[in-house]
Amino acid sequence: MNPSGQEDPFIKHRHTARYYAQRVRESLTTRVSKLICAIFLIILLVSGIVAFIVWLSLRPHRPRIHIHDFSVPALSQANGFENAKITFNVTARNSNQHIGFYYDHVEGSVYYKDQRIGYTPLLDKFYQEPKNTTIVYGVLSGATLTVNSQRWMEFLNDRSQGMVIFRLDVTSNIRFKVSTWDSKRHRMHANCDVGVGPDGSILASYGNKRCPVYFT
Ligand SMILES: *[C@@H]1O[C@H](CO)[C@@H](O)[C@H](O)[C@H]1NC(C)=O
Ligand SMILES: *[C@@H]1O[C@H](CO)[C@@H](O)[C@H](O)[C@H]1NC(C)=O
């Protein structure tokens, strides 16, 4: 090529065998480099897919907490305040395929209008295997339930309007176990809102509901 960018007709005529051999070699090297590029991209794509699948199967699901029962039998009795008691049960499920949970002590607190009215230890530390569901029963009465007569009057007032709303908080510290590796501790909170009807039992619309779980 000359500086103006156009091919010199004289040179064009003098394309030699050497010229063609060089062109063939060049196209061969671009083809080889394209092939290497393609192989590299395919390897990248496949390892990306593999990493994604591994991540999907290892991705930890947080514990699934469901509330099943929550009752304040005394609400249905005339002088129930004397023997006020709250019983409940929740389930904690580990829905992971390969990840276990180490729970520290599990504790339950009951709130009414954001004020804690009861607290009780629920479970000692335990290891929960993948795909296991553990039932947690709780009873609050006497010393673990701090309800004075004024608070009880508030309950009865709510009851006369159809329901009393409580919140059960289940808390624990948990560690995730993946094969031989353990995570650090995470503080888990499950907040279960429950409505209790005039008979002292959980209202159907609140039963068997999943409680939001978050970590701090
Ligand atoms: C929870 O308690 C209620 C009432 O005591 C009972 O009917 C229910 O079967 C219990 N649920 C579980 C999962 O134990
Ligand atoms: C879940 O684990 C607990 C505690 O290890 C055990 O008592 C219970 O039987 C297990 N449940 C199932 C369904 O395997």
Please state, rounded to an integer, the average pLDDT across all residues of the chain.
89
- Tell whether ligand 1 has an atom less than 6 A from the beta carbon of residue 134: no
Q: Determine contact, residues 206/162, Cβ cutoff 8 Å.
A: no
pLDDT-derived band at 3, boundaries 50, 70, 90: low
Q: Dump pLDDT digits (tens) for 157-176.
A: 999 999 999 999 999 999 99
Answer for the pair 188, 61: CB distance below 8 angstroms, yes or no: no
In this prediction, residues 86-101 reach a mean pLDDT of: 94
Report the distance separating Cα 80 and Cα 149, nearest Å: 10
Q: Work out which ligand 1 atom sits closest to the CA atom of 135.
A: 13
Which pLDDT score is estimated for 51? 87
Q: Are 87 and 71 in contact (CB under 8 A)?
A: yes
CA 143 – ligand 1 centroid, Å: 24
Question: Above 60 in pLDDT, residue 2?
Answer: no
Q: Do residues 213 and 61 make contact, with C-beta atoms less than 8 angstroms apart?
A: no
Q: What is the distance between the alpha carbons of residues 171 and 151, in angstroms, rounded to a whole number?
A: 25
Q: How far is residue 37's CA from residue 30's CA, in Å, rounded to a whole number?
A: 10
Question: What residues does 215 pair with on adjacent strands?
Answer: 188
Which of 64, 66, 69, 208 is the best mutation target for the ligand 1 pocket, counting ligand atoms within 8 Å of the beta carbon and taking the most? 69
Q: Provide the pLDDT confidence category of residue 14 given band limits of 50, 70 and 90.
A: low
pLDDT at 29: 85
Pocket test for ligand 1, best of 66, 68, 93 (most atoms within 8 A of CB): 68
Q: Given pLDDT bands bounded at 50, 70 and 90, which one contains residue 53?
A: confident
In angstroms, the CA 70 to CA 200 distance is 9
Predicted pLDDT at 83: 82
State percent of the chain over pLDDT 70.
93
Task: Kindly provide the b/e burial profile for residues 133-157, where b requires at least 16 CB atoms within 10 angstroms of the residue's own CB.
Answer: ebebebbbeeebbebeeebbeebee
Of the listed ligands, the closest to the CA of 89 is 1
